[in-house]
Amino acid sequence: MPHLLKTLLGLVLFLGFSQAWGASIDDARKLKADADETLRKASGMSADPKLYADAVRKLEKASDILDELAKTDPKGVEPMQEEISSALFWAKRFANVQVADELNHTKKDTPATPAKPPEPVPAGDQAEKEFHKAEEFEASHKGDDHGIALRWFQVADKYSGTDWSLRALQRAQEAQARFRASQQSEKKDDTPDAKLIAEGDALIQQKNPEEALKKFLEAKKSADTVLAERRIGNAHLTIGYKGRDEYAKQYLPLQTRYQEALKRGARAEADALKRQAIDLVNRLKPLEDGILKSYADAQAAFQRGLDLAKNKDLDSEAHLAILQFEKKNRTAARPMLNAVLDKYPPANDEDRTIIEYCKSLLRLMGG
């Protein structure tokens, strides 16, 4: 009998360890898929706290599985770890009080873990590397705009207060706009303006804001609504951001070489690079003018949207403040951003991204 008990105990222990450590990457993927379904639904509304908390727990379990698998195959699980890390970050970041209570309720008998000291903000070169990693993530996850938005937001939060954070937030907003467009395309509305907005949204999904803008402007002719003005403003802004990124792509490498020459004390080389920079700025003047025109057109659309909404529309009002920052008018931007934060509680993920964008701008300006 003692021998039989020992055998049974060994079998129980073996099965226990098999359940704990025998999980595969497919198990983690299934847990993430289940959690994603809840989080995607919650992105546009308030979720049931129990369902949301359950999604968080599934992501935590998936993360634990991958941590264990990473001990033997770190490269193999890295892509999935990146996805789950982004989703878990987002889920915890925006869990409301009810969700937090639900999570705490299930952990009330677990001893509290000492809080880790906050990590220092990494250097600019590390932020740039992380930004480019997120670009690779976006390229390899085409069609998953919800996941892409989460990845960009994670980068933005980690490097909050830096230019890279702002660029990541802009990419998060663009991804969320595409995700929103995909959801809107499933809704049936046969009015002429709604059809045109749906066609424009489809073009936004295809990363073609120029053609989308034409559809939104047609929709405005059919019915000048807050929604049409928002779409017009965001399309103009996206076009402006594309121009700005192109400008930076051409100008920043030359600026970097100039600064490096100064550090080395290579005055002749620095002077030559300065002349090249002046020539380049002159050649890029049409691009700069186009960017400023896009910002001005976006501002007009957002102001019209805010007027139509009787001065109560988060998207329009926040972007009017953001545009002041983009145009380097920080004296006007600061009170406008603070007013947005005071006035609007976020109702969904898109709102939260806009709010976080405003907070990041304020941090960049010193609060």
Predicted local distance difference test score (pLDDT) of residue 102: 58
The confidence score (pLDDT) of residue 168 equals 87
Q: What pLDDT, on the 0 to 100 scale, is given for residue 303?
A: 97
Q: How many CB atoms lie within 10 A of CB 217?
A: 16
d(CA 204, CA 110): 46
Count of CB atoms situated within 10 Å of the CB of 199: 17
pLDDT of the residue at 42: 61
Give the predicted TM-score (pTM) of the model.
Answer: 0.70
Q: Is the dihedral of CA 312, 316, 317, 318 positive or negative?
A: positive
Pair 180, 117: CB distance under 8 Å: no
**pLDDT for 8:** 41
Per-residue tens of pLDDT for the chain, all 367 residues: 455 444 444 434 333 333 444 678 888 888 888 777 777 666 555 556 677 777 778 888 888 888 888 888 877 777 777 777 777 776 766 665 455 555 666 554 444 444 444 455 455 578 888 898 999 989 888 888 888 888 888 888 888 878 888 888 888 888 887 887 777 666 666 788 889 998 998 898 888 999 999 999 999 999 999 999 999 999 999 999 899 989 989 998 999 899 999 999 999 999 999 999 999 999 999 999 999 999 999 999 999 999 999 999 999 999 999 999 988 898 999 999 999 999 998 877 778 878 888 988 888 887 6
Q: What is the spatial distance between Cα 134 and Cα 137, in angstroms, rounded to a whole number?
A: 5
Q: What integer pLDDT is reported at residue 339 of this predicted model?
A: 96
| Tokens (6 digits) for 158 | 């980690």
Say what the alpha-carbon torsion angle 339, 345, 348, 354 is, to the nearest 10 degrees. 20
Quick one: pLDDT at residue 261? 93
C-alpha span between 340 and 332 (Å, rounded): 13
Distance separating alpha carbons of residues 175 and 40, to the nearest angstrom = 13
Output the pLDDT for position 109. 47
Give the side-chain half-sphere CA count within 13 A for 55. Answer: 27
Classify the phi-psi angles of 366: left when phi > 0, otherwise alpha if psi is within -120 to 50, otherwise beta: left
The confidence score (pLDDT) of residue 111 equals 46
What spatial distance separates the first Cα and last Cα of the chain, rounded to whole Å?
Answer: 73
State the pLDDT at residue 29.
Answer: 83
Q: Check residue 213 and give its pLDDT.
A: 97
How far apart are the C-alpha atoms of 236 and 162, rounded to whole Å?
Answer: 24
pLDDT at 4: 46
104 DSSP assignment? H
**Does residue 172 contact residue 139 with C-beta atoms inside 8 Å?**
no
Are 33 and 144 in contact by the 8 Å Cβ rule? The answer is no
CB 172 within 8 A of CB 152: yes
Token pair for 322:
């953001």
CA-CA distance, 21 to 17, in Å (whole number)?
A: 6
Judged by phi (left if over 0) then psi (alpha if -120 to 50, else beta), residue 115 lies in: beta
> CA 31: distance to chain centroid?
22
- Rounded Cα gap, residues 178 and 180, in angstroms: 5
pLDDT for the residue numbered 281 = 93
